[in-house]
């Protein structure tokens, strides 16, 4: 399976997340680094929320809500994941609620 993701520049609503999960997708959040230029990938972010992220594969351990990745873009590159327009278009109906 090709790994795809998209970064959404806002917080998804509870209803949007539920619908995406029903479709077998995963939702995460980016936290801006305190210093430097970059962001983490986490299950949930309250402070320094940068964006929400949707993937078609479990990018973090779903059984460990504390799991995170320190460098989001490096991790996506290592996973050979693609920020795909086609993937975005496949969920655009949910994102436009």
**In 3-state terms, what secondary structure has residue 11?**
coil
Angle separating helix axes 85-95 and 14-22, nearest 10 degrees: 130
Is residue 95 domain-resident? Answer: no
The residues that bridge with 28 in the sheet, in sequence order, are: 53
Q: What's the total number of domains in the chain?
A: 1
List the domain range (segments joined by +) for residue 79: 4-90
Is residue 97 domain-resident? Answer: no
Q: What letter would DSSP give residue 12?
A: P
Is residue 84 domain-resident? Answer: yes
Is residue 25 domain-resident? Answer: yes
Contact (CB, 8 A) for 2 and 36: no
- Specify the pLDDT at position 42: 98
Is residue 63 domain-resident? Answer: yes
The two three-digit tokens of residue 44, written as one number: 């949930």
Give the pLDDT confidence of 41-83 residue by residue, as tens digits. Answer: 999 999 999 999 999 999 999 999 999 999 999 999 999 999 9
Is residue 69 domain-resident? Answer: yes
Q: What is the mean pLDDT of residues 82-91?
A: 96
Q: Going by DSSP bridges, is the β-strand pair 26-32/39-42 parallel, antiparallel, or unpaired?
A: antiparallel
pTM of the model: 0.94
Is residue 22 domain-resident? Answer: yes
């Amino acid at each position: 399976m090709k790994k795809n993701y998209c970064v959404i520049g806002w917080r998804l609503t509870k209803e949007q997340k539920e619908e995406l999960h029903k479709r077998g997708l995963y939702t995460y959040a980016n936290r801006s680094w305190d210093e430097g230029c970059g962001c983490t990938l986490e299950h949930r972010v309250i402070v320094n929320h940068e964006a929400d992220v949707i993937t078609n594969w479990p990018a973090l351990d779903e059984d460990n809500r504390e799991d995170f990745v320190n460098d989001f873009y490096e991790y996506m590159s290592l996973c050979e994941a693609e920020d795909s327009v086609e993937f975005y278009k496949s969920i655009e109906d949910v994102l436009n609620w």
